[in-house]
Amino acid sequence: MSSTRPELKFSDVSEERNFYKKYIALPKKLLKTIRLVDKGEYYTVIGSDAVFVADSVYHTQSVLKNCQLDPITAKNFDEPAKYVTVSLQVLATLLKLCLLDLGYKVEIYDKSWKLTKSASPGNIEQVNELMNLNIDSSIVIASLKVQWNSQDGNCVIGISFIDTTAYKVGMLDIVDNEVYSNLESFLIQLGVKECLVQDLTLNPNSNTEVQKVINVIDRCGCVVTLLKNSEFSEKDVELDLTKLLGNDLALSLPQKYSKLSMGACNALISYLQLLSEQDQVGKYELVEHKLKEFMKLDASAIKALNLFPQGPQNPFGGNNLAVSGFTSGGNSGKITSLFQLLNHCRTNAGVRLLNEWLKQPLTNIDQITKRHDLVDYLIDQIELRQMLTTDFLPMIPDIRRLTKKLNKRGGLEDVLKIYQFSKKIPEIVQIFNSFLEDEGPVESVKELVRSTWLAPLSQHVEPLSKFEEMVETTVDLDAYEENNEFMIKIEFNEELAKIRGNLDALREEIHTIHLDSAEDLGFDPDKKLKLENHHLHGWCMRLTRNDAKELRKHKKYIELSTVKAGIFFSTKQLKSIANETNILQKEYDKQQAALVREIISITLTYTPVFEKLSLVLAHLDVISSFAHTSSYAPIPYIRPKLHPMNSERRTHLVSSRHPVLEMQDDISFISNDVTLESGKGDFLIITGPNMGGKSTYIRQVGVISLMAQIGCFVPCEEAEIAIVDAILCRVGAGDSQLKGVSTFMVEILETASILKNASKNSLIIVDELGRGTSTYDGFGLAWAIAEHIAGKIGCFALFATHFHELTELSEKLPNVKNMHVVAHIEKDTNEQKHDDEDITLLYKVEPGISDQSFGIHVAEVVQFPEKIVKMAKRKANELDDLKTSNENLKKAKLSLQEVNEGNIRLKALLEQWIRRVKEEGLDTPSNISEEASQHKIQELLRAIANESENENDNYLKYIKTLLL
Ligand SMILES: Nc1ncnc2c1ncn2[C@@H]1O[C@H](COP(=O)(O)OP(=O)(O)OP(=O)(O)O)[C@@H](O)[C@H]1O
């Protein structure tokens, strides 16, 4: 990357010194803000920002250079006196990194240190073009004004949110509890990137609460911006909104919305400086957002269910960005998230919609059923789907991006893209019509297809034909098709036609001069003597430097300049014609520009129509993407049968799979059944060895429910799913024992939030609760929470735990069921292969309690004599002071590879044992007592195990502690 680094230029040292002098005089910047200076062709970054850019973009500090400072400035320069330059290309990467991945703010200054552009994670409008990216998710910024009610511990939060990319503004109030779980759901459902909060941190009464709000915002991967309390006044906001919305509707808003949310809105409008940007005024639309219409998801659920690709700095995957151009569907690399799995979208608007749907699963059964009907229809109509995804959808441009560009500095090229889009609509209408004539699908589904896609598309065909007519009469479509030129039709404008005529005549004269000169100088006009339109000289001729000797023999030729490629020259006459051409061309462009502006402004009046169409097509795109994923999965997905909320609470999945895990090349996925049934078995405790597949099993249930509720089919053989109003996850701190107390606190807080949020219609997923703390505290916590959920809330819950003692809860509460992970042998169906090549795997989840000693399961599956297995079990039971056994299991910490390889070794060892037992006749003892025989058998095992023990064989050591 360093090769593309431009050189920092100043006209002299004093200019350079002055530049830095002004730099240190700037007001102090906020934390996590990067300042850049626009030097025209490139940018420069100074001081600690330069070090940051060197480290995070160039990955080397060798790119840093020293700033030339005068002695006084040097004294006051309290950062490294370094700078680094950034090309336009690198700038795009830097901006993306700062704004979208790291949550930094960016300020761009001009050479005289005037602030020209600023951007923050929730507002990238001013730098959007510099980033040159297709934004695949909406960029929402929110603002909160909280009113705490000290009596009941609840609070009311007035929220306003704005999506500057889609010109949407909304307001709502939410009542929240002391853990702000509703705020969390809101931030997640809308994927809020930045949140404005009143700065009450100095107020001792509200400081702790503000801090809690900040923590929740942080947890959702969203940036907090603190603003003065006075910014949140609701005064005059309706007037500002009237301007923004372009109608008087806003004047009645104070009756509809609370003072709190209006105050929040005021802060937002002034922070984004929306009214100072002329192109924003009148563009906005007031939208509603109701928390209840969608499933609640908490921050842990987004991660635990792998909804988006997760990077080290970007827990929510943030924007799934594709560098300008067509979005490849995001499936080029390894699939690590549901988003990547489901994203076969062909349009950018489709990708954005999918992003939104993943964060907003539906809860209304009728709405979900409609999506399932449509997916079903497109799965059936393969031919239609293929036509749409190969011939039509890829041709659909990003309307939102195009109209924005047209608004700023678009050209005929963009108008033509929209024209082509418009031409596609009647074609799509036509194919739908022809496919709907088919006998196949039932009438109700056909009706749904008509009302969802066909009707909204055909409704706009007529108005669009006027737009098309306008383009066809004004734009030279032939010139575009033949030469990719964007020109106004000359017959459309007399003045233009006249200039064009003159230009063509001059062009003729130029050609004649070229040919005459070629003859005069004796060079071939096609090969040696070139005619060129030079950027400085205009029309002129060129000869190589070798051939130029000939020129000097003729006086009439005037040399213009010499470069490596040769000598540019002209004649008096050619110079004058070139001049004239230049003037005429400028006039032509000017005339054309005025007309282009007119065409653009007419085109822009159609924006609402284009946007509606684009949304319908985005919907079609996502549904067809679901149909594609569902039919091309390793085992096709199936349509789930749904139970509405508050009715039969039963989820029954037969042979269910984790959709993301089953796509991994190195995994042969073992499917599992799941049954959750209100009152009978709605709380499942899953125990089993490390790496046994517990987490996968419980998360799989969450992912499948979510998939069903966004409208997709599910990876099961059969599925009955009770719609849930929330998926709440508590996923263990894993190996973060080091964090000690704080981890325990985090666990308590997050779990408290779950308990507050869950209703009897929710799904709770808890993995390794209490692992980050001492066994005693952890177990106490896990037990209390489990008991509360199973006994009081009564929703679906899946608990994966190492606390074996938790399984005793099932004795207390009838709705608690124990499940455990067992070893499972994949029988090799290939007869020719030797029996030894069977692979032993874990991952099968079955009812009951895990007896911990999975070695014994292996013994069972190698068809070991029952008697011996029983004996070994008794032995294990002797050891079965649950705690020690549990501790052993934890200490063993075997990796999956160790377990699988170990099982193969164990199998060989046990087979050897059986052979020797048989050889020595111990299996049918005739002259010794059964007890003596068992003793001998055990001795034999000990001997064999000792013989084969390898110092590094952790697995065998572990098994021995259980068996011997
Ligand atoms: N059903 C399955 N089929 C195939 N492979 C699986 C299955 N479930 C899990 N695995 C594999 O096993 C690995 C470990 O699974 P998982 O994390 O679910 O185990 P765990 O029991 O929760 O482990 P721990 O107790 O250490 O947290 C997964 O990364 C995956 O590779």
SS (H, E, C) 693-712: CHHHHHHHHHHHHHHHHHCC
Strand partners, 817: 684
Query: Is 142's pLDDT higher than 80?
Result: yes
> Of 661, 704, 893, which is best to mutate to test ligand 1, by the most ligand atoms within 8 angstroms of its C-beta?
661
Written as six digits, the tokens of 505 are 């005549």
Degrees to nearest 5, angle at CA 833 with 830 and 835: 105
Query: Is 691's pLDDT higher than 70?
Result: yes
> So what's the pLDDT on residue 328?
35
Under the banding of pLDDT at 50, 70 and 90, the label for residue 204 is: confident
Atom 15, ligand 1: residue with shortest CA distance:
693
The pairing of strands 566-571 and 538-543 is: antiparallel
Contacts of 268 (CB under 8 A, 6+ apart): 141, 142, 143, 160, 161, 162, 196
| Region 449-470 average pLDDT | 91
Query: Is 477's pLDDT higher than 80?
Result: yes
Under the banding of pLDDT at 50, 70 and 90, the label for residue 836 is: very low
Q: Which helix (DSSP H) or strand (DSSP E) does residue 934 occupy?
A: helix 930-948
Under the banding of pLDDT at 50, 70 and 90, the label for residue 676 is: very high
ipTM: 0.98
Under the banding of pLDDT at 50, 70 and 90, the label for residue 70 is: confident
Name the 3-class secondary structure at 727: strand
| Region 401-429 average pLDDT | 88
- Atom of ligand 1 lying closest to residue 800 CA: 22
Q: How far is CA 90 from the centre of its chain?
A: 22
163: left (phi over 0), alpha (psi -120 to 50) or beta: beta
**φ and ψ at residue 463, rounded to 5 degrees:** -55, -35
- Residue pair 162/240 in contact (Cβ under 8 Å)? The answer is no
Name the 3-class secondary structure at 811: helix
The 10s digit of each residue's pLDDT in 638-657 is 999 999 998 889 999 999 99
> What angle, 0 to 180 degrees and rounded to 10, lies between the N-to-C axes of helices 607-632 and 365-380?
70
- Atom of ligand 1 lying closest to residue 692 CA: 21
Cα(694) to centroid(ligand 1), Å:
6
The 10s digit of each residue's pLDDT in 81-117 is 889 999 888 998 899 889 888 889 999 999 888 999 8
Query: Is 409's pLDDT higher than 70?
Result: yes
Query: Is 422's pLDDT higher than 70?
Result: yes
Atom 28, ligand 1: residue with shortest CA distance:
693
> So what's the pLDDT on residue 823?
60
Domains, the chain = 2-119 (3.40.1170.10), 140-293 (3.30.420.110), 303-487+605-632 (1.10.1420.10), 851-963 (no CATH)
Q: To the nearest whole number, what is the mean pLDDT of the chain?
A: 82
Cβ–ligand 1 contact at 696 (below 6 Å): yes
The 10s digit of each residue's pLDDT in 598-615 is 889 899 889 889 989 999
Written as six digits, the tokens of 596 are 């282009």
Q: Which helix (DSSP H) or strand (DSSP E) does residue 257 occupy?
A: none
With a pLDDT cut of 70, the percent of the chain lying above it is 81
> So what's the pLDDT on residue 736?
37
Cα(831) to centroid(ligand 1), Å:
29
Q: Which helix (DSSP H) or strand (DSSP E) does residue 223 occupy?
A: strand 223-227
| Higher per-residue pLDDT: 177 or 615 | 615
Under the banding of pLDDT at 50, 70 and 90, the label for residue 331 is: very low
> So what's the pLDDT on residue 310?
74
Written as six digits, the tokens of 936 are 């001998």
CB atoms within 10 A of CB 2: 12
Written as six digits, the tokens of 523 are 């060079």
**φ and ψ at residue 370, rounded to 5 degrees:** -60, -45
Nearest alpha-carbon partner for 128 in 339, 240, 279: 279
Q: How far apart are the first and last CA of the chain?
A: 62
> Of 656, 667, 703, which is best to mutate to test ligand 1, by the most ligand atoms within 8 angstroms of its C-beta?
667
Q: Which of 403-417, 715-729, 763-777, 851-865 has the highest mean pLDDT?
A: 715-729
Cβ–ligand 1 contact at 691 (below 6 Å): yes
Cβ–ligand 1 contact at 655 (below 6 Å): no
- Residue pair 568/549 in contact (Cβ under 8 Å)? The answer is no
Cβ–ligand 1 contact at 690 (below 6 Å): yes
Cβ–ligand 1 contact at 695 (below 6 Å): yes
The 10s digit of each residue's pLDDT in 895-916 is 555 655 666 676 677 677 777 7
**Rounded distance, CA 112 to CA 912, Å?**
85
Task: Tell me the H-state helices in 233-337.
Answer: 237-245, 253-256, 259-272, 299-304
> So what's the pLDDT on residue 779?
72
> What angle, 0 to 180 degrees and rounded to 10, lies between the N-to-C axes of helices 954-963 and 866-878?
90
Cα(725) to centroid(ligand 1), Å:
27
Specify the range with the lowest mean pLDDT, choosing from 444-453, 673-682, 795-804, 849-858: 849-858
Cα(669) to centroid(ligand 1), Å:
10
Cβ–ligand 1 contact at 306 (below 6 Å): no
Cα(843) to centroid(ligand 1), Å:
7
Cα(898) to centroid(ligand 1), Å:
14
Cβ–ligand 1 contact at 715 (below 6 Å): no
Query: Is 407's pLDDT higher than 90?
Result: no
Q: What is the DSSP string of 161-193?
A: EEETTTTEEEEEEEEE-TT-HHHHHHHHHHTEE
Q: Which of 542-551, 624-633, 868-877 has the highest mean pLDDT?
A: 624-633
| Higher per-residue pLDDT: 768 or 593 | 593
Using alpha carbons, list the distances in angstroms from residue 402 to 52, 352, 503, 593. 34, 15, 33, 18
**Rounded distance, CA 661 to CA 658, Å?**
5
Cα(758) to centroid(ligand 1), Å:
27
687: left (phi over 0), alpha (psi -120 to 50) or beta: beta
As a whole number of angstroms, the longest Cα–Cα distance in the chain is 129
| Region 440-452 average pLDDT | 90
The 10s digit of each residue's pLDDT in 623-635 is 999 999 999 999 9
**Rounded distance, CA 834 to CA 679, Å?**
48
Cβ–ligand 1 contact at 843 (below 6 Å): yes
Specify the range with the lowest mean pLDDT, choosing from 413-422, 511-520, 784-793: 784-793
Using alpha carbons, list the distances in angstroms from residue 918 to 692, 864, 929, 933, 945. 33, 12, 16, 12, 17
> So what's the pLDDT on residue 769?
67
User: What's the order of all strands across the beta sheet hosting 285-287?
Assistant: 223-227, 192-198, 140-148, 155-163, 168-176, 285-287
The 10s digit of each residue's pLDDT in 15-62 is 888 888 888 888 888 778 999 999 888 899 999 999 999 998 999 888
**Rounded distance, CA 728 to CA 701, Å?**
12
With a pLDDT cut of 90, the percent of the chain lying above it is 33
